[in-house]
């Protein structure tokens, strides 16, 4: 049996990835939530994760941390988590690694906070470059690699969809305009039952942190 340690659902974008992946593929796990009050290294989490951060997956006490490593570990037992076609699978791995390591400007400018729904504002050139790259990735996957198996990046739901799920929420929260194909994919992800379950739980949380909540006025107030 797996134990998954995650942060607050309202704020913890990284935690969403393995949680969503395991929910979609029906993998049983015990969920444990910890505070994400600290934005950097948190010594209090060291007993739960070698890197002192969440998410962290435990199997019989053995720890697997970093969302991309958790996904790869799960996919070894559930190959359907990656596309069956070799080139599609390689592309899915490429964009998943790019997501894990990149889009710093976008993530910094638009922190995860599911309780916000803002009017938005023009992006800086650096943030717009990240937005354009996300759109490019989604459009390419949907138009060149997606099969008839489903409406996700590569047709059927995969690790790549779980990796980009936090950006789906960020672009929705901050009301970012997207090209038609990218917007359709965003809406598909927002309607995913597990995404809705995560969102409903986030709205019920009471823990709040000012450094995450400060952007309402900066982004034009509430929609």
- Say which CATH topology domain 83-204 has: Glutathione S-transferase Yfyf (Class Pi); Chain A, domain 2 (1.20.1050)
Q: Output the pLDDT for position 37.
A: 60
Q: What are the boundaries of each domain within the chain?
A: 2-77, 83-204
CATH architecture for residues 2-77:
3-Layer(aba) Sandwich (3.40)
pLDDT score of 216 = 75
One-character DSSP codes across the chain: -EEEEE--TTT-HHHHHHHHHHHHTT--EEEEE-----SS--GGGTTT-TTS-S-EEEETTEEEESHHHHHHHHHHH-GGGS-SSHHHHHHHHHHHHHHHH--HHHHHHS---TT--B---PPPHHHHHHHHHHHHHHHHIIIII--TT-SBTBBB--HHHHHHHHHHHHHHHTT----HHHHHHHHHHHT-HHHHHHHHHHHH-----HHHHTTTTTTTSB-
Identify the pLDDT of residue 40: 63
Q: What's the pTM?
A: 0.95
| Predicted local distance difference test score (pLDDT) of residue 213 | 67
Q: List average pLDDT for each run of 10 residues in the chain, which is 223 residues long.
A: 95 95 98 76 85 94 96 98 97 97 95 93 97 98 92 98 98 97 98 98 89 76 82
């Amino acid at each position: 049996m797996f134990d998954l340690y995650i942060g607050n659902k309202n704020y913890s974008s990284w935690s969403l990835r393995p949680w969503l992946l395991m929910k979609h593929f029906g993998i049983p796990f015990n969920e444990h939530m910890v505070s994400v009050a600290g934005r950097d290294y948190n010594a209090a989490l060291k007993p739960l994760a070698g890197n002192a951060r969440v998410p962290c997956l435990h199997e019989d006490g053995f720890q697997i941390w970093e969302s991309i490593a958790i996904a790869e570990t799960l996919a070894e037992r559930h190959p359907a988590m990656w596309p069956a076609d070799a080139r599609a699978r390689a592309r899915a791995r490429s964009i998943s690694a790019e997501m894990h390591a990149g889009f710093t400007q976008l993530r910094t400018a638009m922190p995860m906070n599911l309780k916000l729904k803002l009017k938005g504002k023009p992006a800086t050139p650096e943030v717009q470059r990240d937005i354009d790259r996300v759109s490019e990735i989604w459009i390419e996957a949907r138009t060149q690699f997606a099969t008839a198996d489903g409406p996700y990046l590569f047709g059927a739901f995969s690790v790549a969809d779980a990796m980009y799920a936090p950006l789906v929420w960020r672009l929705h929260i901050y009301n970012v305009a997207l090209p038609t194909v990218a917007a359709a994919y965003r809406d598909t992800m927002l309607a995913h039952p597990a995404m809705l379950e995560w969102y409903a739980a986030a709205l019920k949380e009471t823990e709040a942190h000012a450094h995450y909540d400060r952007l309402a006025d900066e982004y034009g107030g509430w929609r």
